[in-house]
Amino acid sequence: METTEDIVADECLDPEKVKLELIAKYPTKVARKRAKQIIINKIGETGDVPEIQSNVRTTPGLIGQRGCCYAGCKGVVLGPTRDIVNITHGPIGCGYYSWLTRRNQTDPDSSPGTSSDGHNFMPYCFSTDMQEEQIIFGGEKKLKQAIQEAYDIFKPKAIGVFATCPVGLIGDDVHSVCKEMKEKLNINVFGFSCEGYKGVSQSAGHHIANNGVFTHVVGTDDSVREGEFKINLLGEYNIGGDAFEIERIFEKCGITLVSTFSGNSTVEGFANAHTADVNLIMCHRSINYVAEMMEKKYGIPWIKVNFISAESTAKSLRKIAAYFENSKLTERVEAVIAEEMPAVEKARNAIYPRTKGKRVMLFVGGSRAHHYQDLFKELGMITLSAGYEFGHRDDYEGRKVLPDIKVDADSRNIQELEVHPDPDNFRPRKGSEEIERLKKQGVVFSEYDGMMPDMPNNTLIIDDLSQYETDQLIEIYKPDMFCAGIKEKYAIQKHGIPMKQLHSYDYGGPYAGFAGAINFYHDIDRMVNSRIWSYMKAPWQKNPELMATYAWE
Ligand code: CFM
């Protein structure tokens, strides 16, 4: 079977040449900047990879894939929690377009460890609908009214308020309004200064959301839930029902899920997350802050996991068992893997001959461009190029580069919370000797190696890919499948290339865990082997280009 090396040995696909081609038409300054964000992967003998510039502003004029700070805070991190009324303080457009149509799912009767109260506010869109009047005279009064109205109608346990760009520009103090309403209503009301323009992408919003949830919610309920092997799952957002599949597997293994941040979650779950024995991180980019802060404040260690792909799921379950060092758990985990894998293998073996050697590119968010490569590997597909929209250097190169990352003004804008051990609740889950012993046994703590060490040499790693570069890449490589988001979807399809959304799964999924892997194999098989794409003719292929001259010429 062809490998990446074979493919790029073709002179036209030489990554050095492709890189030059991608930036050839840019003005010198832009080309220089993009050259630092388009990297040809080379893994050194010690596992080191080249430096990639990331988490910097998108060049104005380039059409990028990114979202805003508000999107990262309200949409991504807080959005999937079903029992918080999330109010967008701003003009209606921000609320309307962040309405959770991207298929975070929830089950009001069975969020982990929570009483079933039937609360589910996710299908609603709450906004203060600011008008010119509020922009000129201030919107705090309208915000107070909105909080009161939401409380009167829904009687929620908590209300979150999210600031949009104009709120930051006119200076409404959402935090003091929330404080006042919290005292008045006697429920948790908290605000987020997540104005869209903050930072360089939605990544800033993740950090702000993490700070807010950690400050206002985590640790507010000390009740300890029954069950053995208590874990939190961080950075899993229940897209397309992924969390349901992961919860099914945990339950089968006898692992107690205290809380998920934040797929299929509730505010109660966050409140006693500090009672878990270990934190598992799925999406490192969006939530590593919470894991770090919980370790400092409560003594809970964290381990990186991935439940995308059957092999990765099995590996992650074994990591959990290794952490707890309990023979009963180890046996159960092995039994579950043995029970689940035959169906996975059966589906894979049937599909593999049709998908092996197909070429794929993934440009998604801050973690999926890495995680989904494992699923494509199981299908024998080759990842030629990948990149994040807004990942940081540690998501590409691994956390070992953290000390070398220069903090720029945009990042300094986002508050770093100072966290200390909690006098009542700090309890190191493992002693230092135990940790050392576990490390020797191969348990890796507080580490994420990033995407690049996992990718073959000579693959193109591209940060913050632009639409222009997308078109170029497709023309040059003619991949069999391109993975990105809704904004990119139709332009890619017009090239006659199947495009898989990995943000909302195009209404497919779940893709996590064992059952999810099977779903994914089937969906990808259908897409890469459909002949429909070869019949595609883009409008510009059917009709000649329109030419015009200026009237004065
Ligand atoms: Fe994490 Fe996410 Fe992602 Fe993300 Fe996102 Fe998302 Fe994503 Mo869309 S938190 S970084 S900000 S895994 S919304 S659930 S799919 S870009 S790769």
Check if 503 has its Cβ closer than 6 Å to any atom of ligand 1.
Answer: yes
Q: pLDDT tens digit string along 306-352?
A: 999 999 999 999 999 999 999 999 999 999 999 999 999 999 999 99
Instruction: State residue 101's pLDDT score.
Output: 66
Say whether pLDDT at 540 is over 80.
no
Residue 360 Cα to ligand 1 midpoint, Å, equals 19
Nearest residue CA, atom 9 of ligand 1? 286
Say whether pLDDT at 103 is over 80.
no
Per-residue confidence at 553, pLDDT binned at 50, 70, 90? low
Check if 269 has its Cβ closer than 6 Å to any atom of ligand 1.
Answer: no
Say whether pLDDT at 111 is over 80.
no
- On whether the CB atoms of residues 390 and 207 are closer than 8 A, the answer is no
Percent of the chain whose predicted confidence (pLDDT) is above 70: 99
Check if 37 has its Cβ closer than 6 Å to any atom of ligand 1.
Answer: no
Nearest residue CA, atom 13 of ligand 1? 76
Which of the residue ranges 156-165, 270-279, 403-412 would you say has the lowest mean pLDDT? 403-412
Per-residue confidence at 102, pLDDT binned at 50, 70, 90? low
Q: pLDDT tens digit string along 192-240?
A: 999 999 999 999 999 999 999 999 999 999 999 899 999 999 999 999 9
Nearest residue CA, atom 8 of ligand 1? 503
Q: pLDDT tens digit string along 470-523?
A: 999 999 999 999 999 999 999 999 999 999 999 999 889 999 999 999 999 999
Residue 62 Cα to ligand 1 midpoint, Å, equals 21
Say whether pLDDT at 444 is over 90.
yes
Instruction: State residue 5's pLDDT score.
Output: 74
Mutation choice for ligand 1 from 66, 76, 288, 308, CB with most ligand atoms inside 8 A? 76
- On whether the CB atoms of residues 502 and 237 are closer than 8 A, the answer is no
Tell me the β-bridge partners of 239. Answer: 104
d(CA 168, CA 184): 25
| Atom number of ligand 1 nearest to Cα 203 | 11
Say whether pLDDT at 298 is over 90.
yes
- Alpha carbon of 121 to those of 16, 113, 265, 367, 553: distances in Å? 50, 19, 12, 27, 59
Check if 283 has its Cβ closer than 6 Å to any atom of ligand 1.
Answer: yes
Q: pLDDT tens digit string along 158-190?
A: 999 999 999 999 999 999 999 999 999 999 999
Per-residue confidence at 64, pLDDT binned at 50, 70, 90? very high
Check if 80 has its Cβ closer than 6 Å to any atom of ligand 1.
Answer: no
Check if 65 has its Cβ closer than 6 Å to any atom of ligand 1.
Answer: no
Residues involved in catalysis = 68, 71, 102, 206
Nearest residue CA, atom 1 of ligand 1? 283
Nearest residue CA, atom 6 of ligand 1? 503
Distance from the Cα of residue 8 to its chain's centroid: 30
| Atom number of ligand 1 nearest to Cα 104 | 14
Check if 201 has its Cβ closer than 6 Å to any atom of ligand 1.
Answer: no
Mean pLDDT calculated for residue range 357-386: 97
Residue 448 Cα to ligand 1 midpoint, Å, equals 17
Q: Sign of dihedral through CA atoms 243, 244, 248, 251?
A: positive
- On whether the CB atoms of residues 284 and 391 are closer than 8 A, the answer is no
- On whether the CB atoms of residues 397 and 294 are closer than 8 A, the answer is no
| Atom number of ligand 1 nearest to Cα 503 | 15
Residue 366 Cα to ligand 1 midpoint, Å, equals 6
Residue 497 Cα to ligand 1 midpoint, Å, equals 23
Which has the higher per-residue pLDDT, 318 or 98?
A: 318
d(CA 241, CA 309): 15
Check if 76 has its Cβ closer than 6 Å to any atom of ligand 1.
Answer: yes
Residue 222 Cα to ligand 1 midpoint, Å, equals 30
Check if 72 has its Cβ closer than 6 Å to any atom of ligand 1.
Answer: yes
Contacts of 285 (CB under 8 A, 6+ apart): 203, 206, 235, 365, 366, 367, 388, 390, 391, 392, 395
Mutation choice for ligand 1 from 283, 306, 394, 511, CB with most ligand atoms inside 8 A? 283
Which of the residue ranges 280-284, 381-385, 548-552 would you say has the lowest mean pLDDT? 548-552
End-to-end CA distance of the chain: 57
- Alpha carbon of 456 to those of 44, 47, 373, 385: distances in Å? 11, 12, 11, 10
Check if 307 has its Cβ closer than 6 Å to any atom of ligand 1.
Answer: no
Instruction: State residue 389's pLDDT score.
Output: 98
Say whether pLDDT at 146 is over 70.
yes
Mean pLDDT calculated for residue range 58-81: 96
Helix ranges restricted to H, 255-387: 267-271, 284-298, 310-324, 327-355, 368-378
Per-residue confidence at 113, pLDDT binned at 50, 70, 90? low
Check if 364 has its Cβ closer than 6 Å to any atom of ligand 1.
Answer: yes
